[in-house]
Amino acid sequence: MKRDFILGLILVCVFLIMGMGMWQIVSERGTEVGTTRVSVVASFYPLAFLADEIGKEKIAVKNLTPVGVEPHEYEPTARDMVEIQQAKLLILNGENFEGWVKKVKSELKNVLVVEAAKDLMIENDVHVWLSPELAKQEARVILSGLVQIDPLNRDYYMENEKLLENKLEKMTVDFRNGLSNCTHQEIIVSHGAFGYLAREFGLKQVAISGISPDEEPSMKQLTEVAQFARKNNVKYIFFERLISPKLAETIAEEVGAKTLVLDPIEGIDNNDIAVGKNYLTIMEDNLANLRTALECR
């Protein structure tokens, strides 16, 4: 009896050890139900959103840029660097948007780095994600990265990415229909983030500052923007949530216009998250505000 008990105990231990070995093999190749999620780090919110839509419960996504911080100004902390180095995948926008990467690239030898917008930019404009069509192409780059680090779940990621593409295609249709019959086509914005959106849907963007919100406009530029607003009977000046609305408010007061939010979605705050807002719903809000400002029917 005692001998049988000992033999049974030995067999249980053998099976447990074999199981642990198989678990380790699976972990090295990818994820399965019950295993640790694949660690993914994205440089800022839109990329984190796209990755999360594709990876869902198979991945754990970290958005590096803190709530309320403008991603143009972000620099990683020591804790951020630890999380980046422990990740399987780092998703960047690319083309110098994340200037800090050059300083740490040598430390990322075991991390797959993908640049979602690298081949999509025109004239150094980094704001690719504000075009639904280009956001779809960014999603494909992210999909490729996820499949490389976790090939076991290739079909799962591909299925989710296709669902995301469908949502982005619907958004394109909504914008095209919503902006097809408008009195105005001119938008005055805080900084030049909406060039791709304007190009895709036939709008004319005039920026108070440059492509980066850090660029301070001269008095001459402010005067020219005000003159443009008067000449084109612009009734709304757009501002953003992550940068001061002061310049937009000043020009609006000067020309007798009102102000509205046009969100470049460079970040999202906890209040938005609490009420279920995300990239897709904020783009819907942007469309609604554009229709108001441009007097669309």
**Six token digits for residue 45:** 């919110």
Cα 251 from Cα 219, distance rounded (Å) = 11
**Six token digits for residue 294:** 């441009």
- Using alpha carbons, list the distances in angstroms from residue 229 to 83, 194, 263: 46, 17, 20
Q: Residue 9: its pLDDT value, please?
A: 44
DSSP secondary structure code for residue 100 in this structure? T
**Six token digits for residue 285:** 């809000």
Q: Residue 35: its pLDDT value, please?
A: 66
CATH assignment, 179-293: 3.40.50.1980
**Six token digits for residue 73:** 């100004």
pLDDT averaged per 10 residues in sequence order, the chain, 297 residues: 46 41 35 74 98 98 91 91 96 88 89 95 90 98 99 98 99 98 97 96 94 82 96 96 90 97 93 93 98 98
- Using alpha carbons, list the distances in angstroms from residue 116 to 4, 38, 169, 244: 60, 19, 18, 28
Q: Residue 22: its pLDDT value, please?
A: 34
Domain ranges across the chain: 38-176, 179-293
The model's pTM: 0.86
- Using alpha carbons, list the distances in angstroms from residue 88 to 30, 61, 115, 251: 11, 11, 15, 47
State which CATH number among 1.10.1040.10, 3.40.50.1980, 3.90.950.10, 3.40.50.10880 fits the domain covering 38-176: 3.40.50.1980
Q: Residue 23: its pLDDT value, please?
A: 31
**Residue 231 near residue 225 (C-beta atoms within 8 A):** no
Cα 135 from Cα 168, distance rounded (Å) = 8
**Six token digits for residue 154:** 């290739």
Q: Residue 106: its pLDDT value, please?
A: 86
Residue whose structure tokens are 């001119």: 186
Hey, do 38-176 and 179-293 end up sharing a CATH topology, with the first three levels equal?
Answer: yes
Q: Residue 242: its pLDDT value, please?
A: 82
The residue count for the chain: 297
Q: Residue 244: its pLDDT value, please?
A: 86
Cα 194 from Cα 188, distance rounded (Å) = 10
Stated as kind and residue range, the H or E segment containing 294 is: none
Q: Residue 13: its pLDDT value, please?
A: 43
